[in-house]
Chain A
């Protein structure tokens, strides 16, 4: 049981390049999401998915695309990287709101990946 696996751990891109950050979970979690973390700004939600085939925007979706073709995988695509996208990116997963009983996620909360540190020059 590996939990949430993110690759790569580090990446340097040139402005305008595209890339995909990979995220995979083996816990059969229905809910997956992507966050970016910048100094002093906490975690900001980029996109999320409540199940395979369903995605939606978070607080800061511009410049990012996602897809959810399987329960396990939730890749994040940067179409044309910009220096403003320099950040640490975290993927997270959890049981869905509907299947967890009282409150959100029951007593489980999010499981986060170890993060991808992205620098755009």
Chain B
């Protein structure tokens, strides 16, 4: 199908542990975007990756784009309770933007 595959679906971590979510596509991506949705909220744009092998950091968040531009990952170092939410990746195909099913992160204090 058109969507990107995200794993895992759920992740429960203890506060301070690391967390990683993966996004995979069967086709080469022109770019990939990451969003965060807090419980009861709306998705909020985090970052866009465009270049093969690109790595971008936002404080404790590290985003990677695979060399073949078919996968991406979001890694959170030393999770905090404020990281709770669902993380989505999104790809575009000729003006249509498709979202993965998301990884729901729960952080135990």
Residues of A that sit less than 8 Å from B by CB: 31, 33, 35, 40-45, 48, 50, 56, 58-59, 90, 92, 97, 102-115
Asked whether any CB of chain A lies closer than 8 Å to the CB of B19, the reply is no
Out of B45, B48, B50, B96, name the residue touching A111 (CB < 8 Å): B45
Query: Is B102 engaged at the interface, CB distance under 8 Å to the other chain?
Result: yes
Question: Would you call B3 and A42 a contact (CB within 8 A)?
Answer: yes
Listed in ascending order, the chain B residues whose CB lies under 8 Å from chain A are 2-3, 6, 9, 30-31, 33, 35, 41-48, 50, 88, 90, 92, 95-102
B48 with A105: CB separation less than 8 A = yes
The docked-state distance in angstroms from the alpha carbon of A88 to that of B18 is 31
Given A50-B95, A107-B48, A109-B33, does the pair A41, B101 have CB atoms closer than 8 Å?
A: yes
Interface secondary structure of A, over-half rule: loop
A residues less than 8 Å from B44 (CB atoms): 112
CB neighbours (8 Å) of A31 from chain B are: 95
Interface hub of B9, B42, B48, B90 (most chain A Cβ within 10 A):
B42
Given contacts A48-B95, A113-B42, A115-B42, contact A104 B31 (CB under 8 A): yes
25 contacts between A and B (CB under 8 A): A40-B9, A42-B6, A42-B88, A42-B101, A43-B88, A43-B99, A44-B99, A90-B42, A92-B43, A97-B95, A102-B50, A103-B30, A104-B31, A104-B33, A104-B92, A106-B48, A107-B47, A108-B45, A109-B45, A109-B46, A110-B43, A110-B45, A112-B44, A114-B42, A115-B42
